[in-house]
Chains A and B, each alone.
Chain A
Amino acid sequence: MTARERLGAAFVYLTLGAAIMLALFPFWWMIDTSLKRPVDIFSGVALWPQQITFGNYYRLFNEFHFGSFLLNSIVIVTASVAISLVIGTLAAYALARFRMQFGVRRMALILVLLVRMLPGILLCVPLYIALANWGLLNTRLGLILIYAGLNTSFVVWMMQSFLEEIPRDIEEAAMVDGDSRLTALWRVVVPLAAPGLIATAIFTVIATYNDFIIALTMTSTPDAQTIPVGVSTLIGKIEIQWGPMAAAGVVGALPIVIFALIVQRHFVRGLTFGAVK
């Protein structure tokens, strides 16, 4: 290595090191604060808790309904992701395998992209009025239906590109052997598409778990409120509860961060909505 190359390498690693510090430190400050006692939170910048306590987490579940929020999130995410995976994969299969007439394919894809891009605030007002008419405000069912619809756009888009990569011969062979279209799809195509299906499921889970504005407007009590809404309820208080607020942030982020670390290889495609392969 010449001196110049060495200088270049030093610059690269220093810049990346700084970027990583900037990306991670805010997380650490939240975790750090969540593990401190109230007096320690106010005693200046301490990068390590003076005395580690789980009191903030205890209060979260005992005083601030986080058990309910967590349960609601789990039920709503599971149901809406399951529904959207089924109807989305069927549609993606149709788009990937058949020629369609009357511009149906074009219309379907434009609808898919449109739903992905509509800002949440735009959907909130009309959906609020609709749910109010059907008596579904502040219910888990109302949120499940909305998220199932929103997620379907993601599933169709992602699964379509995954299914196109699977050769047709395999399912045609299965159909010659007597399978119907649907059984061939289920027995042959779905197992082959499993990696794509898993990646898609992961992203719909993350997007649904993280959504805020729709859950905020459609719910009003811990009967149906999800984790992000629960987190925001801690801010409305007259006196901000820093400790529980930090702990709430950790509870809100933790499942997703663990997910991210486990499935990082599949991440690029989902996070970028298939903008790149």
Chain B
Amino acid sequence: MEERESRAQRLRAAAVPYLLLLPALLALAGISLYPTIDGVIASLHRYRYGRDVGFTGVDNFAAVYNDAVFWQAIATTVLFVLLAVAIETLLGLLLALLVARELRFAGLIRVTLILPMTIAPVVVGIIWRLLYASDIGVVNPVFEFFGFEAPNVLAHPLTAFLGLVAVDVWEWTPLLFLIILAGLHSLPQDPIEAARVDGATSIQTFFHHTLPLLRPVLLVAVVLRTIDAVGTFDQIFVLTKGGPGTATQLISIYAYNTAFLFNQYGRAMAMLIALLACLLFLMAAAVHLMRRGSEIVE
């Protein structure tokens, strides 16, 4: 009798961690697995005027595959992400190296530089709409002041695309800056000092010592930013809605329009599942890097 009781107690004690974990796991599964399954089902159905009119097999996927606009949106997204993330990484690295020295007001400089990434992306869109506006903005007058033609940024395909890259750079360089700065602070100083004592120039020290040591941090930062950049939506929705024409139509904007403007939920889901398949590779890399970085390996 006693033995059974203690066994029951042991069992109960062993169940505690799983019970503590359960609500969160349910919430997380409810917000990720459930919609994913639902989404897969939706992608196999046909919608008309937003209503499910039955199973169609892989028709949606075939339609997406044969859709030139879809591939154009993918190309635009890839170009946007590569350009933005490359510029952000370089600028973030430069700023971090400058701030990592002993500076007066380092704390104040840091908080000022990261303000753009803290506010809502919608507000970022508003801010740049006000700057780019052809009638009340600042960008046109600045160009005219220096003797150039007013660019009317959002009115032409190429300038609109570059203008959106610039917005992304303004908003997200601070993230790269912040991660790289924290990485620089946590670097072991000995090899860098030793190199300097041996008479290496600061450029040599940087490329031979600082950069290799910084690589793991840099990698996490770039992968995380890349994943987020692929999903860029808010600023573009506010600034151009994908236009002029389809010049700034990233995959997120195209999928949104397909789902909520044309009510083709199945078609939109097929698109997004294709996107997810591409992203999973990057996500797996990120999971691997972050698990290693955070000492939580079992």
Contact = CB atoms under 8 A, between A and B. Distances in A.
A209 B122 CA distance: 11
A112 B290 contact: no
Contact of A245 (B117, B126, B220): B126
Given A94-B17, A121-B256, A228 B120 contact: yes
Interface stretch (A38-46, A48-56, A60-68): A38-46
A213 interface: yes
Contact of B178 (A118, A248, A271): A271
User: Range of interface residues on chain B?
Assistant: 35 or more
Interface string A231-256: 11001000000100110110011001
Contacts of A45: 138, 141
Interface string A77-117: 00000001001101101110110100011101111111101
A174 to B, nearest CB: 16
A210 B18 contact: no
Contacts of A276: 179, 182-183, 186, 217, 220, 293
Given A15-B98, A127-B35, A160-B296, A33 B116 contact: no
A108 B130 contact: no
Contacts of B64: none
Nearest to A259: B118
Given A12-B101, A120-B231, A126-B36, A87 B123 contact: no
B224 interface: yes
B123 A104 contact: no
Interface string B227-246: 11011011001100000000
Nearest to A247: B126
A181 interface: yes
Best-buried of B30, B130, B230 by chain A (most CB within 10 Å): B130
B182 to A, nearest CB: 4
Interface in A137-174: 146, 148-150, 152-153, 156, 160-161, 164
Given A212-B234, A228-B123, A242-B130, A117 B227 contact: yes
Interface string B18-57: 1011011101111111111011001000000000000000
Contacts of A15: 94, 98
A248 B272 CA distance: 32
Interface string B106-144: 010111111111111111001111110101101001000
Given A90-B20, A91-B21, A119-B231, A29 B99 contact: no
B83 interface: no
A249 B296 contact: no
B260 interface: yes
Interface residues on A, range: 35 or more
Interface stretch (B146-154, B155-163, B275-283): B275-283
B23 A87 contact: yes
Contact of A113 (B170, B230, B286): B286
A29 B138 CA distance: 8
Contacts of A44: 141
A69 to B, nearest CB: 12
B269 interface: yes
B80 interface: no
B126 A119 contact: no
Given A12-B101, A98-B17, A108-B25, A119 B279 contact: yes
A34 to B, nearest CB: 9
Nearest to A41: B136
A125 interface: yes
A249 B116 CA distance: 13
B260 A152 contact: no
Nearest to A213: B233
Contact of B170 (A22, A42, A111, A231): A22
Contacts of B283: 113-114, 117
Contacts of B20: 90-91, 93-94
A3 interface: no
Contacts of A213: 233-234, 237, 256
A245 B130 contact: yes
16 contacts: A23-B115, A26-B116, A42-B136, A87-B27, A119-B228, A123-B35, A125-B39, A130-B35, A149-B27, A161-B294, A245-B126, A252-B119, A259-B118, A267-B114, A272-B224, A276-B179
8 A-B pairs with least C-beta separation:
A119-B231, A149-B31, A91-B24, A126-B35, A98-B17, A210-B120, A249-B126, A94-B20
